[in-house]
RNA sequence: GGAGAGUUGGCAGAGUGGUCGAAUGCGGCGGUCUUGAAAACCGUUGUACCGCAAGGUACCAGGGGUUCGAAUCCCUUACUCUCCGCCA
């Protein structure tokens, strides 16, 4: 949510930012006008109330006072009721506006305008034609899409045998890195969240199409642990000296992937359910960019330890997520696709989420409550990491070597082709 | 799933329909005393919104209602606790 005071002070500046993200001028003007109307009406209501309060005696009112008060009460109620639709519209509009992007964010409307910042690692050279992870996964008995389609439907997978073990190992490895080496608190949150939480992080009201909603409830399957982890602090006023707060958590994420028909139909890239280890930081506004860089480094360290080549990409304005002011994606190399694919997205939301979710800190010296900044990033998307590992660590015989850092977790060294699928 | 009890300021906890933004205690902040600290004593101490300001308005879990007037009465939702049942 944007700062209404900023909009009042400098509507042009705010709109120029929003325009980059496709916000309609009329919609924005409506909002500004409505706010003016609301404030005017509020002043009237409060004046009426002031009058009423002044007239109200300490004890029982006389007959004469009573009739006056009755009249006033009537007009207060009437005027007050006229406020309600204004407030509702204002709130509904306010929730629709995306965050303003930072000045450094490159212009552009599609991912084609994203800017590559740097490349890390060495691209592999195979002396055979590398298989895709889904081919490898099926022939090694790791990935079972058929049974998943039977039990559930398309875009689901059953991880089996060493595939399941490797995924589990990856989760453990990532969490250990973040908790032991990067100072995050581990949280294992609920998978189901309510609409208030989703509104707090910005998934609602605009993006309900991509969410699985549980029938007859206010519950949704969470699309990302960003929701659970950020909303841990919903409504809180934190002590300034407790910042920054860093939490990490592994969850399954559930997305409808509406509008992605035909895209990435094979393999682990785009599923309705996938595992992700998420990083969330609640930070002091003055430190948010530094903390964001650190968070990015934490996500990168996983790729480095797994020896997977990747690149760092700064998203253009048009590709930014709704609440983000600035986002950098990590994209890992997929040999079979001969291109980089997103595996992490690290964003700084500034005070956009904290306004919605009412997350504040109390200044040590000022004693005043101000909004914190929130950051998050994947650290990493586990399924995609598994896929990348399979492709990079494959051999000519169709077997897959386990990356060194995972060997102590899984206690096997290699995954080989199997002859029979059950 | 059934029965009951709750939800009040940072915390604990009182509150008869009007004098309640709300007693009291703790905590916090400031001061006196002290070489310093503790103790004691005195004072002070919620948040949001509107307004250039003076100031005003609102808030006792959320929403609705009764009333001239609601923390207090009624309805409703959420959450917490106790007991019973069921269950991993």
Q: Do A28 and A125 sit in the same domain of this protein?
A: no
pLDDT at A421 over 70: no
- Examine residue A168 and state whether it is found in any structural domain, yes or no: yes
User: Which of A46, A69, A94 is at the close of a domain?
Assistant: A94
Measured CA A46 to C1' B60 distance, in angstroms: 21
CATH of the domain at A387: 3.30.930.10
Residue A143 and residue A22 share a domain: no
Number of domains in chain A: 2
pLDDT tens-digit series, residues A82-137:
888 899 899 889 999 999 999 999 999 999 999 999 999 999 999 999 999 999 99
Residues in chain A, overall count: 422
Domain shared by A89 and A117, yes or no: no
Q: Is residue A146 part of a domain?
A: yes
> What's the whole-number mean pLDDT along residues A193-199?
91
Q: What is the pLDDT of residue A404?
A: 97
Q: Are strands A219-221 and A339-348 parallel, antiparallel or unpaired?
A: unpaired
Name the nt closest to A68 by C-alpha to C1'.
B68
C1' of B45 to CA of A26 (Å): 47
Do A21 and A66 contact (CB within 8 A), yes or no? no
Distance CA A45, CA A37 (A): 12
The pLDDT, as a whole number, for residue A53 is: 85
Considering the domain architecture, whether residues A229 and A117 belong to the same structural domain is answered as yes
Do A314 and A406 fall within a single domain? yes
The candidate with the shortest Cα–Cα distance to A415, out of A177, A121, A159, A158, is: A159
What mean pLDDT is reported for chain A? 92
What span, in angstroms and rounded, lies between the C-alpha atoms of A6 and A113?
A: 29
Query: How confident is the model over A165-188, as a mean pLDDT?
Result: 96
Reported confidence tier of residue A243, pLDDT bands at 50, 70, 90 = confident
Q: Note whether A403 and A393 are within 8 A (CB).
A: yes
CA dihedral A48→A53→A56→A59, nearest 10 degrees, is 160
Mean pLDDT of A154-182: 96
pLDDT at A407: 96
Give the ipTM of the model, two decimals please. 0.85
**Domain assignment of residue A265, given as a range:** 111-415
Question: Which of A94, A126, A142 corresponds to the end of one domain?
Answer: A94
Share of chain A above pLDDT 90, in %: 74
Report the percentage of chain A scoring pLDDT > 70.
99
Distances (CA, A) of A332 to A123, A273, A306, A342: 10, 20, 11, 6
Of A94, A121, A140, the position where a domain reaches its end is: A94
Question: A27, A93 in Cβ contact below 8 A?
Answer: yes
Q: What is the mean pLDDT of residues A255-280?
A: 89
| Residue nearest B58 (alpha carbon to C1') | A46
Output the distance from A188 CA to B81 C1' rounded to whole Å. 25
The separation, in Å, between residue A115 CA and nucleotide B63 C1' comes to 48
Protein residue closest via CA to C1' of B10: A237
Residues A187 and A42 in one domain: no
The confidence score (pLDDT) of residue A242 equals 85
In this structure, what CATH number is given to the domain that contains residue A78? 1.10.287.40
- The pLDDT of A204-233, averaged and rounded, is 91
Vertex A224: Cα angle to A308 and A90 (nearest 5)? 135
Footprint of strand B on the protein (CB under 7 A): A 4-5, 39, 42-43, 45-47, 49-50, 52-54, 56-61, 66, 69-70, 72-73, 367-369
* A182 and A53 in a common domain: no
The answer to the question of residue A180 being in a domain is yes
Q: CA–C1' span, A312 to B51, in Å?
A: 49
Is the domain of A8 the same as that of A34? yes
Structure tokens at A4: 């209404």
Which of chain B's bases lie under 7 Å from a protein CB?
Answer: 18-19, 47-51, 56-58, 68-69
**End-to-end Cα, chain A, rounded Å:** 51
Is residue A322 a contact partner of residue A98, using CB atoms and an 8 Å limit?
Answer: yes
Within this chain, do residues A42 and A173 fall inside the same structural domain, yes or no? no
Instruction: Please calculate the CA angle A259-A264-A269 and round it to the nearest 5 degrees.
Output: 110
Q: Give the closest nucleotide to A40 (alpha carbon vs C1').
A: B50
Same-domain status, A23 and A50:
yes
Q: Is residue A102 part of a domain?
A: no
Check residue A327 and give its pLDDT.
97
- pLDDT band, very low/low/confident/very high, at A67 (cuts 50, 70, 90): confident
Which are the catalytic amino acids of A?
Answer: 255, 270, 342, 345, 384
Do residues A219 and A86 share a domain?
no
Least confident of A100-114, A146-160, A166-180, A227-241: A227-241
Question: Average pLDDT in the A283-302 region?
Answer: 96
Task: Specify whether A30 is located in the same domain as A122.
Answer: no
């Amino acid at each position: 949510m944007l700062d209404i005071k900023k909009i009042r002070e400098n509507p042009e500046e705010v709109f120029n930012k929003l325009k980059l993200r496709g916000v309609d001028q009329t919609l924005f003007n409506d909002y500004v006008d409505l706010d003016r109307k609301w404030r005017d009406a509020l002043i009237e209501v409060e004046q009426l109330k002031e009058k009423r309060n002044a007239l109200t005696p300490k004890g029982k009112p006389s007959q004469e006072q009573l009739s006056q008060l009755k009249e006033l009460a009537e007009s207060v109620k009437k005027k007050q009721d006229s406020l309600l639709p204004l407030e509702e519209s204002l709130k509904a509009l306010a929730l629709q506006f995306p965050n303003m992007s930072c000045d450094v964010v490159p212009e552009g409307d599609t991912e084609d305008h994203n800017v590559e910042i740097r490349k890390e690692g060495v691209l592999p050279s195979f002396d055979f034609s590398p298989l895709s992870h889904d081919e490898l996964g099926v022939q090694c008995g790791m990935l079972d899409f058929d049974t998943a389609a039977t039990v559930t439907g398309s875009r689901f997978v059953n991880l089996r045998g060493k595939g399941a073990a490797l995924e589990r190992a990856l989760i453990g490895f990532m969490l250990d890195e973040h908790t032991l080496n990067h100072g995050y608190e581990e949280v294992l949150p609920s998978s189901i969240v309510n609409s208030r939480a989703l509104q707090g992080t910005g998934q609602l009201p605009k993006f309900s199409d991509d969410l699985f909603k549980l029938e007859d409830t206010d519950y949704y399957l969470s699309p990302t642990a960003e929701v659970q982890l950020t909303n841990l602090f919903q409504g809180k006023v934190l002590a300034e000296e407790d910042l920054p707060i860093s939490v990490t958590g592994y969850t399954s994420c559930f997305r409808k992937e509406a509008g992605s028909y035909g895209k990435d139909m094979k393999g682990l890239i785009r599923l309705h359910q996938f595992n992700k280890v998420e990083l969330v930081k609640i930070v002091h506004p003055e430190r948010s960019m530094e903390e964001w860089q650190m968070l990015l480094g934490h996500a990168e360290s996983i790729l480095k330890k797994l020896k997977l080549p990747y690149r760092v990409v700064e998203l253009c304005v048009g590709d930014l997520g709704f609440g983000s002011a600035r986002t950098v994606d990590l994209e890992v190399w997929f040999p079979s696709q001969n291109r980089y694919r997103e595996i992490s997205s690290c964003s700084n939301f500034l005070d956009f989420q904290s306004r919605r979710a009412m997350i504040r800190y109390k200044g040590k010296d000022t004693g005043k409550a101000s909004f914190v900044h929130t950051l998050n990033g994947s650290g990493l998307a586990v399924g995609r990491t598994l896929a990348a590992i399979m492709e990079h660590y494959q051999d000519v015989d169709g077997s897959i070597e386990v990356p060194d850092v995972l060997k102590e977790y899984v206690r096997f060294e290699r995954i080989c082709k199997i002859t029979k699928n059950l």
